[in-house]
């Protein structure tokens, strides 16, 4: 097989299985791909409703996986290795108590805000505190619909903005957006960590 025929074959496979690939990728990394999917909807690669439903299903599956990791493995892991992360059993118990008391607000806010950089910890905490799975899924579903709508819209909007920028400025635009987003998440997560621990 020649190299020239590899690219068209790869593109054919990519287009044929685009929704399956989107589903699998969303299970692994949701928010960034949600924004990218908004742009791909803009250029016609994805249809809006199928993409929305696939993203919803993939992200919920990822949430279920993290829930069960927390349910079965969080407490034994943290009891054994928590000291290396400055997470003592006392802090973990305090966090569990707060989570159990305020889990509805925490799950909804965490889902919509992408957890301010602590979303995986929040999902595992739901499992570790044995929040009922139905309630967990219902709350995450509500948060998911809001989050996906926002992130797809951002991708769509910035895609339109990106298309209107001169070619020489596009790289600066992308780097600027990624930097602002990353710094915001970093400082928000630091603030929340210190607020919860103190």
User: How many structural domains is the chain composed of?
Assistant: 1
Cβ 31 vs Cβ 59: under 8 Å: no
pLDDT of residue 125: 83
**What pLDDT is stored for residue 185 in this prediction?**
67
CB 106 within 8 A of CB 122: yes
Q: Residue 82: which residues within 8 A CB-CB, separation 6 or more?
A: 88, 89, 91, 92
* Nearest residue to 149 via CA among 26, 16, 56: 56
Encode pLDDT of 76-111 as tens digits: 887 777 777 666 777 777 777 888 888 888 888 888
Q: Residue 59's pLDDT is what?
A: 92
| pTM greater than 0.75 | no
pLDDT at 166: 62
- d(Cα 30, Cα 37) in Å, to the nearest integer? 10
Range of the domain at 38: 3-197
Supply the pLDDT for residue 29.
Answer: 80
* Residue 155, CA distances (Å) to 43, 96, 98, 158 in order: 11, 35, 34, 5
| Under-50 pLDDT residues of the chain | 1, 197
Res 167: pLDDT: 65
pLDDT at 162: 67
């Amino acid at each position: 097989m020649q190299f020239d025929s590899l690219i068209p074959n790869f593109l054919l496979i990519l287009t044929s299985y685009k929704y399956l690939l989107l589903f699998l990728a969303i299970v692994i990394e949701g928010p960034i791909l949600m924004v990218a999917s908004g742009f791909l909807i803009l250029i016609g690669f994805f249809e809006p409703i199928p993409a929305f439903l696939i993203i919803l299903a993939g992200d919920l599956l990822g949430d279920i996986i993290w829930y069960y990791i927390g349910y079965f493995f969080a407490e034994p892991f943290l009891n054994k290795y928590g000291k290396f992360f400055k997470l003592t059993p006392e802090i973990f118990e305090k966090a569990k108590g707060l989570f159990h008391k305020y889990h509805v607000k925490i799950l909804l806010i965490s889902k919509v805000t992408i957890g301010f950089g602590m979303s995986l910890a929040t999902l595992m905490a739901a499992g570790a505190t044995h929040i009922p799975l139905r309630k967990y899924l219902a709350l995450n579903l509500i948060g998911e619909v809001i989050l996906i709508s926002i992130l797809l819209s951002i991708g769509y909007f910035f895609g339109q903005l990106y298309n209107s920028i001169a070619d020489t400025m596009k790289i600066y635009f992308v780097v600027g957006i990624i930097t602002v987003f990353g710094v915001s998440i970093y400082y928000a997560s630091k603030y929340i960590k210190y607020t919860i621990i103190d």
